[in-house]
Homo-oligomer: A and B are copies of this chain.
Amino acid sequence: MSANKLKERKKISCPVEYAVSVLSGKWKLRILYAITKQSPKRFKELEREISGITPTMLTAQLRELERDGIIEREVFATVPPTVEYRLTAFGKTTAPMMNEIKNWGLLLKAHQAGNNGNEIS
């Protein structure tokens, strides 16, 4: 997200839009969900857990989450390098929301399964 976008964000009044401005991004919620489930988490663990993501994108989205104060990064001077990501105190406030999103995802899936024998029709 550009610096310009950051300035735009300050003008937002709608709380939902405000939340979206921080959570949008193809992988943000999945990353957040993965770290919420188990923390801390290493870079490689995240990469494995979030199928389809590339290291480049993972890095980019992690940086934004970090910049927004939701996660923090700890580097260990080991060989090979180790980096752990965990929720900040503020990041933990996303837990109820993440939980509801997960629950609704499950509801949605069940609902669609109910509606769709649409392979046939």
Question: Hey, which bits of chain A sit against chain B, CB under 8 A?
Answer: 14-20, 22, 24, 26, 29-30, 33, 69, 90, 93-94, 96-109, 111-112, 115
Do A103 and B97 form a contact, CB below 8 Å, given A16-B30, A30-B16?
Answer: yes
B33 adjacent to A102 (CB under 8 Å): no
Since A16-B29, A19-B105, A24-B24 are in contact, a sample of 14 more A-B pairs with Cβ atoms closer than 8 Å, ordered by chain A residue number, is A14-B30, A15-B105, A16-B30, A16-B98, A17-B29, A18-B105, A20-B105, A69-B112, A93-B104, A94-B104, A97-B101, A99-B100, A100-B100, A101-B101
26 chain-A/chain-B pairs, Cβ below 8 angstroms:
A14-B30, A14-B33, A14-B105, A15-B103, A15-B105, A15-B109, A16-B30, A16-B102, A16-B105, A17-B29, A17-B30, A18-B108, A19-B102, A20-B30, A20-B101, A20-B105, A69-B111, A69-B115, A90-B111, A93-B104, A97-B97, A97-B103, A99-B100, A100-B100, A100-B101, A101-B101
